Structure 1
Amino acid sequence: MRILGAILAGGRSRRFGSDKALAVVDDAMLIDRVHAALMPQVEARVICGRSWRDWPSLVDRPEPGLGPLGGLNAALHHALDQGMDGVLSVAVDIDPLPADLRVRLAGDRPRTLLRQHALGYWPAALAPALDRHMASGARSIRSWIEACGAELHDDAGLGLRNINRPSDLDGDR
């Protein structure tokens, strides 16, 4: 199974007050930590919603500024165009990223974590369905989870934290 890793990194970081992808945890920026954890789990990777270094990047689909679902849509279409089986999506603000995320989520149907919906596996064949879903005006990953019938995988005990405010950097891990 060939999987594209998609780092969803196009958020505005309003609650954080600055670009949280560049926030430092254990001497590394969040974006670099997510990248390092994702790379061994996928055959290729893209960053969605921004440009960063020389990494391949995608603009949200169908237009810029649509948040995580727009980034996921762009990644699904890219995976389909590249002949990949699916997309393993990760949010730039989830730390630490599980080293076995692919094993937990990848399969023949969509699957996401119960509490961290941006961490999910999405078969590339869903790209046209996500286009239709977004054309209806839907913009939330939760609405997409329901629409595509994604399974929810329990993430209790994984120690994941969502970095939304600077104080979240100091929380227990």
Structure 2
Amino acid sequence: MALRLLGAVIAGGKGRRFGADKALALHDGKPLIEHAVTALGPQVDAMVLCGRDWNAMERVDDRPEPGLGPMGGINAALHLAAERGFDAVITVPVDVLPLPADLRAMLAGAGAAAFADQHLIAFWPVESLATVEDYIAGGGRRIVGALDLIGARRVTDPPGLVNINRPQDMNRFST
């Protein structure tokens, strides 16, 4: 039986280092958020956007409360996945491109998995929900801390990924 996967684009950041809403920054004429959604969509059974509204996509807000950073979005996506019968969530940030077309296959295997350097690109089994909730309740906010708790395998990042934190990072794409 094939796994049912919920894709979650983490897009609620404030863009302080970028100086603007980086999800809407243009690369090749399209906002970064569109690049993430377009790359992840074919690899999952359904998608949500964590922390923002965009193009009528379903939105989930940080759980249990706003201001928790990416862990709040991950927790919200895991809750939605559990409620709707998904097996796992694949998370991607809005600001790391280009996402591989074989991301699902790269993260497949036993249990949780995450890219070694870009930890927000990860596979979160629904069974990890209670551990993630406890981690957040205990003050945990670091993605790598949650991944360590759930025993996530680390997958080598593919070459060419660019993490966009500042406007000059937009120039690092090879086109």
Shorter-chain TM band: over 0.9
Query: Distance between the aligned counterparts of 1:170 and 1:43, measured in 2?
Result: 33
Q: Map 1:19-168 onto structure 2 (within 5 A).
A: 19-157=21-159, 159-168=160-169
Query: Distance between the aligned counterparts of 1:63 and 1:20, measured in 2?
Result: 23
SS at match of 1:122: strand
SS at match of 1:89: strand
Q: Which runs of 5+ in 2 are unaligned?
A: none
Q: What is the TM-score when the length of structure 1 is the normalising length? A: 0.97
Query: Distance between the aligned counterparts of 1:106 and 1:58, measured in 2?
Result: 24
Q: What is the TM-score when the length of structure 2 is the normalising length? A: 0.96
1:25-56 alpha-carbon deviations (Å, 9 max, x no partner): 01110000100001100000000011212100
Q: CA deviation at 1:107?
A: 3.2
Q: CA deviation at 1:106?
A: 2.7
Coordinate RMSD, CA, aligned: 0.9
**Do the aligned partners of 1:108 and 1:123 also contact (CA within 8 Å) in 2?**
no
Matched positions, count: 172
SS at match of 2:8: strand
**Do the aligned partners of 2:9 and 2:50 also contact (CA within 8 Å) in 1?**
yes
The list of structure 1 runs, each at least 4 consecutive aligned residues, that deviate by more than 4 angstroms after superposition, is none
